[in-house]
Chains A and B, each alone.
Chain A
Amino acid sequence: MKSDSSVGGSGVSVDLATRLAEAVHPLSLGERVASFVAASLVVAEVEARRLRHDPWEVVTRAIQPLLWLTIFGQAVARARLFPGQGDYLSFLAPGILAQSVMFTSIFYGLAIIWERDAGILQKILVLPVPRASFVAGKGLGAGLRALIQGAVIILVAIAMGIPLEVAPLSLLTCAVAIVLGASVFATLSMLLATLLKTRERFMGIGQVLTMPLFFASNAIYPLDIMPSWLRILAHLNPLSYLVELLRQALVAGNTLGAPRDWLVLLAWLAVLQVIVSRRYDRVML
């Protein structure tokens, strides 16, 4: 190779100059936005391709929420604890759907830590691509997983004879809400990953976090049975808003959902994405 060094000489330097000129030229705002959107979609596409090569992982993850629906749901429905809510199983089904979205997404940060440990993240971070698109793209990828799992749960719920509203528009609303909710929890999870940095610590905190997120929400019982301090927590909890959107679309027949619920979830997502994009490269340090 040493002997080649002089051969490369002049032809290379011309090429070098043009390539450098491209690099020095700053990107316009439009170019940066286009780059952000395109890269986010590609990051999500990576997720889709992984799923295509191994679809069973997602399907098996639908088992746990289905156990809630079949075992817990059947028992509580029999007890008639919440008479105001009508059919308990149709009250519970959207809650369990939302819970499954949260459970798959809340461990998404583990993937980031794994990618950091494996060296994949480092390779990605030196690409000339906006950091924020990795965060947004991962959120969309989590949404995709949650969608597949959600479809399994809805199908089983229908097969169980639970009365649900399954008009195309209701399902579309559900799909959008699921992707949005999954993005929120996946981004929250990435925030935890940047703070905790190791798999062991993350697993510990992740387990602890799912409990209050799940039980301090309206997923399996109505808010009005809660003591007021718990109700405040439930109102801060993004899961409650996701449950509400799904319940409105699948049960109450309010297909488009309440603007307040959409806005709260979008606000959570925006704030988390900004924080995580800024902290993202600190996972490395």
Chain B
Amino acid sequence: MPLVEVTELVRRFEDVLAVDHVSFSIEPGEVFALLGPNGAGKTTTIRMLVTLLRPTSGTVRIAGIDAIRSPDRVRRVLGYVPQTLSADGSLTGYEHLLMVAKLLRIPRRDRERAIAEVLELARLEEAADRLVRSYSGGMVRRLEIAQAILHRPVLLVLDEPTVGLDPTARRTVWEALQELRRREGTTLLVTTHYMEEAELHCERIGIMNRGRLVALGTPDELKASIGGASSLDVVFTALTSDTLESGGSFSEVRQLRRRLRRFG
């Protein structure tokens, strides 16, 4: 049984079709990437998967649970790291984790061990007692990952986990994710702009453009589908170039993004 099943997912914001009949599934243990230019509908898709946004139509099943009808149950098997780097700078890293552990009602006797485990995985042991406002971008992102996996979710969803980070920080984030997979077998769903990261770390990639899923497959399959393209970059450009090239579409994209921003 696939862990994630998305069927004919649609989200409309007034007259804008942000997500247009998207279907895909993710197997347990897989690393799955959604790739696409800005405004392609990746974040909107993800927000529907993690129960933050109701679809206009279509279904999302995670671990067999209907995410639209039983969001509270889906939340118990799901971890989510949103795109914006965010953490409350006025608390320490340890306090962040302690608060989430308490919210999740992890029993007191297991709490310290659970926190120590995720701190170690995120390589934040030494920074744990510092206020988060002194953290670097990579550290904040790793703290967010640590927070999102405290309840040992079977699926971790990350929206642009490495955007805006320097190459070293990007590497440390992926190292933490790899370590998580090795230990827990957690299924990962990421969106990214970085083609080489998708190629290096992800087993299957879905390419989105203008709200639609325009290609889906392993990196090799995708390259083969464009007549043996040498890199994912070529595939990506071939599939999404109309967004910027076709007549008048630049202003369309701008308009779409402006609308999306208005909706938060």
Query: Which A residues fall within an 8 A CB radius of B?
Result: 1-2, 4-5, 7-9, 11-13, 15-16, 19-20, 22-24, 26, 34-35, 38-39, 42-43, 45-46, 49-50, 53-54, 116-120, 122-129, 197, 281, 283-285
Q: Which of B98-106, B117-125, B206-214, B231-239 forms contacts with chain A?
A: B98-106
Complex contact B75–A126 (CB within 8 A): yes
A16–B30 CB distance below 8 A: no
Residues of B within 8 A of A283 (CB): 264
- Find chain B residues with CB under 8 A from A45 CB: 99, 102
Q: Is the CB of B203 within 8 A of A2?
A: yes
**A197 partner residues in chain B, CB cutoff 8 A:** 264
| A50 (CB) vs chain B CBs: closest residue | B90
Q: Are A22 and B264 in contact (CB under 8 A)?
A: no
* B51–A126 CB distance below 8 A: yes
- List chain B residues, Cβ under 8 A from A15: 184-185
B137 at interface (Cβ–Cβ under 8 A)? Answer: no
Decide: B203 and A16 in contact? CB cutoff 8 A. Answer: no
Query: Which residues of B are found within 8 Å of A285, using beta-carbon distances?
Result: 53, 263-264
Residues of chain A within 8 A of B63, CB atoms compared: 16, 20, 23-24
Find out whether the CB atom of A4 lies under 8 angstroms from the CB atom of B181.
yes
**Sampled A-B contacts (10; CB under 8 Å):** A2-B201, A15-B185, A16-B185, A39-B103, A53-B131, A118-B84, A122-B82, A126-B79, A128-B73, A128-B76
A11, A22, A26, A49: which contacts B95 (Cβ < 8 A)? A49
Report the separation of the CA atoms of residues A53 and B130 in the bound assembly, to the nearest whole angstrom: 11
- 9 interchain residue pairs of minimum CB distance: A12-B185, A119-B84, A119-B86, A8-B185, A128-B75, A23-B76, A128-B76, A118-B86, A126-B80
A120 to B132: give the CA distance in the assembly, Å. Answer: 13
What residues of chain B lie closer than 8 Å to A20, measured between beta carbons? 63-64, 77, 154
Q: Are A5 and B29 in contact (CB under 8 A)?
A: yes
Is the CB–CB distance between A123 and B144 below 8 Å? Answer: yes
A23 touches B181 (CB 8 A): no
Tell me the interface secondary structure of chain A in the complex. helix
B178 and A284 contact, CB distance less than 8 A: no
Instruction: Determine the residue in chain B with the shortest Cβ distance to A131.
Output: B72
Q: Which residues of A contact B91 (CB under 8 A)?
A: 46, 49-50, 53
Q: Is the CB of A126 within 8 A of B185?
A: no
In the complex, A24 Cα to B61 Cα: how many Å? 13
Residues of B within 8 A of A39 (CB): 103, 105
Q: Is the CB of A1 within 8 A of B178?
A: yes
- Give the residues in chain B near A116, CB-CB below 8 Å: 264
- CB pair B103 A129 closer than 8 Å: yes
Residues of A within 8 A of B74 (CB): 23
Shortest CB–CB separation between residue B108 and chain A, in angstroms? 12
**Chain A residues with CB under 8 A of B148:** 123
Let me know if A126 and B102 touch, CB within 8 A: no
Interface flag for B10 (CB, 8 Å): no
Bound CA–CA A118/B86 (angstroms): 6
B79 contacts which chain A residues (CB < 8 A)? Answer: 126
Alpha-carbon separation in the docked complex, A26 to B47 (Å): 24
Contact of A126 among B52, B83, B263 (CB under 8 A): B52
| List of B residues within 8 angstroms of A5 by Cβ | 29-31, 203
Instruction: Kindly report which residue of chain B lies nearest to residue A133, judged by CB atoms.
Output: B103
Interfacial chain A residues near B52, Cβ < 8 Å:
122, 125-126, 281, 284
A41 to B83, CA, bound (A): 28
Does B58 touch A at the CB level, under 8 Å? Answer: no
Contact (Cβ within 8 A) B203 A126:
no
In the bound complex, what is the Cα–Cα distance between A117 and B82 (angstroms)?
Answer: 11
Given A8-B182, A120-B87, 19 further pairs, Cβ under 8 A: A1-B178, A8-B181, A12-B185, A16-B154, A19-B77, A20-B77, A22-B76, A23-B77, A42-B102, A46-B99, A50-B88, A53-B131, A122-B80, A123-B80, A123-B144, A126-B50, A129-B104, A284-B53, A285-B264
